[in-house]
Amino acid sequence: MPGMEVRSIDYVPLRERHGKLWHLGPLWFMSNAQIATLAVGLISITGGGNLIWSLISIVAGTVLGTFFMAFHSAQGPQLGLPQMIQSRPQFGYVGALLVWLFAYVQYAGFNVFNTILAGQAMSTTAHGPVKWWVAGVTVLALVVALVGYDVIHRAEQVLTYTFLVVFGVFTVGVLATLHYPAGSFDLGGFKWTPFLAQFGVVAGYQISWAIYVSDYSRYLPPDVTVRRTFYWTYFGSALGGAWLMVLGALLAAWAGKDFDTIASINAAGDKVFSGFGAIVLVFAALGLVSVTALNMYGGSLTLISAADSLRKVRPTVGARLVTLAVTAGLSLVGALAATSHFLENFNNFLLLVLYLFIPWTAVNLMDYYVVRRGHYAIAEIFNPHGIYGRWGWRGITAYLVGFAAMVPFFSVGTLFTGVAAKALDGADISLFIGLPVSGALYWWLARTIDVDAEVELARAEAVRLEDPAAV
């Protein structure tokens, strides 16, 4: 297929670097600005919080959570590698399987939810069985993911411009035509538990993008600088995420117990003018196709990385095709088998994602920005007997200790409430425990790493890296 991406987990040589830095803005804006994100904005409203404090917690959670994911994005142009393969220096050649398993579960879980929403949106507007539309969305997303990096960027740019028009009108309509319950904007109606629950889910949702970000910046030349890469990723993701989460809170406050994602969007859209709800839903389905493609793409890279840790894999187009097909097949089976019970517990899934990736993001960022300061021997990342070892005991220890420290502070709906969370009346502050514990412990354990020797090796390898990688 013309224009199909040929690389996967391998290093992108400088001669193949291309693209504009601003492309990251539309990509991360549109990745977040899709109706699955609406569900993230419901937690406080459904937990008894009022609207104004829900909106404040959404903005605060977005500001904090996006901060961490955007710093991961800056790693891509500097290393020329996808995100999850960068876990090997911290967790080891085999040890990185620990976080890759969690990452793959995230990709699959989000795709089940995304394709079901897209199927419901198209069934409501164009009719036909939801399962048929789920299958169609999955196949279309598979094609986009197979063509790869460049077409994903282009698609997100086009969708962003269209979104600004369609959802701009829709948002104005929501603000101007909907009526909210008494006390919705009363600042005196503050409640800690729903506020922190909303804050934690929003921050977790934004941090959950951390496992994707270098995948979509790794083809950029390294001279784009860390700061500018951070800014374009941060503001794109934060604006897209906050916009849809705020819409979710507004719609939930308006609809009350009758809230349903598809039905509420359709009804609110029709208040602007008859039939506009259907227009919003059709466009929303296209947005869900794009983010499903992102999940398949990331899932493919994760599967190839995992397979390579067990047995050396040539990162060919064939490997991409097989792993994409497996990822698409699993998400399709999950979506067709999902029940309403699964959809009702999507918020619990978001919390579990937060718990699993808080320690990882702390370890990865501490290693990149503080311990090794961006200096990695790229060839050693692909060497099963290289300097990073098969088991990175420092990273694994910091991860497990940080996760264990969070457990007493977990508050996952009716599934589990930790001892500390119960003492806080159900409020979840595990985010503020896992980040510093894992990050600080890894920094302390990493004091024995001979960083200077690694830097010299990285410089020596860099001279020889370009020609073999290009071949």
Whether the predicted pLDDT of 349 surpasses 80: no
Q: List pLDDT tens digits, range 422-462.
A: 888 777 788 889 999 999 999 999 999 998 998 888 888 77
Q: Return the pLDDT at 470.
A: 46
Cα-to-chain-centroid distance, residue 58: 17
Query: DSSP secondary structure string, 50-65?
Result: -HHHHHHHHHHHHHHH
Nearest to 93 by CA among 449, 469, 383, 399: 383
DSSP assignment letter at 369: I
Total residue length of the chain: 471
Nearest to 21 by CA among 278, 166, 222: 222
CA angle 18, 234, 243 (to 5 degrees): 120
Residue 400, sorted as left (phi over 0), alpha (psi -120 to 50) or beta, turns out to be alpha
* Whether 376 contacts 456, CB under 8 Å: no
- Alpha carbon distance 338, 128 (integer Å): 18
- Alpha carbon distance 264, 297 (integer Å): 31
465-to-14, 217, 287, 312 alpha-carbon distances in Å: 10, 19, 38, 19
- Alpha carbon distance 145, 297 (integer Å): 5
Q: Return the pLDDT at 192.
A: 84
* Whether 362 contacts 435, CB under 8 Å: yes
Q: List pLDDT tens digits, range 203-233.
A: 888 988 888 889 999 999 999 988 999 999 9
Confidence bin at 471 (pLDDT 50/70/90): very low
Q: What percent of the chain has pLDDT over 70?
A: 95
Confidence bin at 468 (pLDDT 50/70/90): low
Q: Is 146 helix (H, G, I), strand (E, B) or coil?
A: helix
- Alpha carbon distance 416, 70 (integer Å): 30
Nearest to 121 by CA among 36, 18, 212: 36
* Whether 293 contacts 144, CB under 8 Å: yes
**Is residue 182 exposed (0-12), middle (13-18) or buried (19+ Cβ within 10 Å)?**
exposed
CB-hemisphere CA count at 13 Å for 320?
20
Confidence bin at 19 (pLDDT 50/70/90): very high
**Is residue 1 exposed (0-12), middle (13-18) or buried (19+ Cβ within 10 Å)?**
exposed
Whether the predicted pLDDT of 404 surpasses 60: yes
Helix ranges (H only) for 127-191 are 130-147, 149-177
- Alpha carbon distance 24, 3 (integer Å): 20
**Residue with more model confidence, 227 or 341:** 227
* Whether 281 contacts 262, CB under 8 Å: yes
Q: Return the pLDDT at 150.
A: 93
Q: Is 39 helix (H, G, I), strand (E, B) or coil?
A: helix
Q: What type of residue sits at position 124? A: T
Q: Return the pLDDT at 311.
A: 87
Nearest to 292 by CA among 139, 163, 151: 139
For the ranges 167-181, 389-403, 413-427, the lowest mean pLDDT is seen at 413-427
Q: What pTM, to 2 d.p., does this model score?
A: 0.91
Q: What backbone torsions phi and psi does residue 260 show, to the nearest 5 degrees?
A: -145, 130
